[in-house]
């Protein structure tokens, strides 16, 4: 996928969340990533960030102990270690600190009762470069919540979700993660991939046929990149009216700037 960047080749730096924002609403993408207007957290962001931090610290400590330490004890250590963090400040602000602690404790006990894999990395950073023709290159960056080993050269990519519904979760994010792993230190390995539904009894929502179908998600990323490059070149970012507009923090600015979605 990677190759030397040709002269006069434009490079787009993307992430899964950035692309999903573009797909959700191009106007929101414009405000958030072109104008770089400030954004603020809400109770759902604060809850998710706090749970992610606790589980990250707990499993990193467990990996460092070579899986010999007590996982509940490591969670307690993670709790005390996190107290000066921005995540605790935000979780306290939105009154979700106890909920986050409860989710993390519940998952810790669930994992111990159903242990089928061992974590090998928590929050590893990845970078996936893809050349699209002679004049466009994309560089996808991000972090993976967790990678577990499930067999000889077999791994599962896991992503924590604290929302209460699985119906909006798709294979796009997981497919890109697999592509990044295969293009990096896990070349030649096989992968499973799943979302951990922390609010729904810690069930897993698996990606179907991940070792074959991840390429379709890479193709989807390429298609989005071409559309993003065109939108940025032409500076055309129309709003996409829908139910999510009521939750968008740029709603009032969008209404003022565009005169209402009907103008588009």
- Across 167-219, the runs of DSSP E, i.e. the strands, are 190-197, 203-206
The closest of 200, 44, 207, 177 to 107, measured between CA atoms, is 200
Q: Please report, for residues 26, 138, 223, the alpha-carbon distance to residue 108 in angstroms, rounded to integers and kept in the order given.
A: 39, 37, 39
Residue 164: per-residue pLDDT = 72
Whole-model pTM: value is 0.92
Work out the burial of residue 50: count CB atoms within 10 Å of its CB; fewer than 13 is exposed, 13-18 middle, 19 or more buried.
buried
Long-range CB pairs of 235-242 (<8 Å, 24+ gap) are 236/26, 237/26, 237/27, 237/29, 237/30, 237/34, 238/26, 238/27, 238/264, 239/25, 239/26, 239/27, 239/28, 239/264, 240/24, 240/25, 240/26, 240/27, 242/25
**Res 87: pLDDT:** 97
Distance of alpha carbon 218 from alpha carbon 183, whole angstroms? 12
Q: What is the pLDDT of residue 112?
A: 96
Give the integer Cα–Cα distance in Å for 185 and 42.
35
Q: Check: CATH 3.90.320 for 10-232?
A: yes
pLDDT confidence of residue 264 = 45
Torsion sign, CA atoms 107, 53, 76, 119: positive
Break the chain down into helix, strand, coil percent, rounded to 5: 50, 20, 30
- What are the boundaries of each domain within the chain? 10-232
Position 138 scores a pLDDT of 97
Q: How many Å separate Cα 84 from the centre of its chain?
A: 24
- Structure confidence at residue 110 (pLDDT): 97
pLDDT of residue 99: 97
Mean pLDDT by 10 residues, the chain (264 residues): 64 96 96 94 94 98 98 98 97 97 97 95 97 94 98 97 85 98 96 96 94 96 97 95 88 87 49
């Amino acid at each position: 996928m990677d190759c030397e960047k040709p002269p006069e080749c434009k490079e787009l730096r993307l992430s899964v969340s950035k692309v999903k924002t573009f797909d959700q609403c191009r106007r929101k993408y414009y405000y958030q990533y072109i104008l770089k207007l400030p954004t603020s957290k809400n109770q759902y962001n604060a809850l998710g960030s706090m749970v992610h931090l606790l589980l990250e610290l707990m499993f990193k400590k467990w990996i460092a102990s070579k899986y010999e330490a007590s996982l509940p004890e490591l969670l307690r250590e993670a709790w005390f270690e996190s107290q000066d963090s921005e995540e605790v400040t935000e979780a306290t602000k939105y009154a979700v600190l106890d909920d986050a602690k409860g989710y993390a404790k519940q998952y810790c006990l669930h994992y111990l009762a159903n242990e089928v894999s061992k974590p090998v990395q928590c929050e590893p950073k990845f970078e996936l470069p893809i050349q699209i023709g002679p004049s466009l290159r994309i560089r996808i960056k991000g972090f993976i919540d967790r990678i577990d080993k499930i067999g000889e050269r077999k791994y599962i990519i896991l992503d924590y979700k604290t929302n209460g519904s699985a119906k909006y979760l798709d294979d796009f994010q997981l497919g890109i993660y697999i592509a990044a792993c295969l293009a990096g230190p896990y070349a030649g390995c096989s992968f499973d991939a799943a979302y951990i539904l922390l609010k729904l009894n810690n069930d897993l929502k698996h990606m179907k046929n991940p070792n074959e179908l991840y390429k379709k998600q890479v193709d989807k990323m390429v298609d989005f990149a071409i559309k993003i490059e065109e939108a940025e070149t032409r500076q055309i970012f129309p709003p996409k009216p829908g139910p999510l507009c009521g939750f968008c923090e740029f709603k009032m600015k969008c209404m003022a700037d565009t005169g209402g979605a009907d103008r588009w």
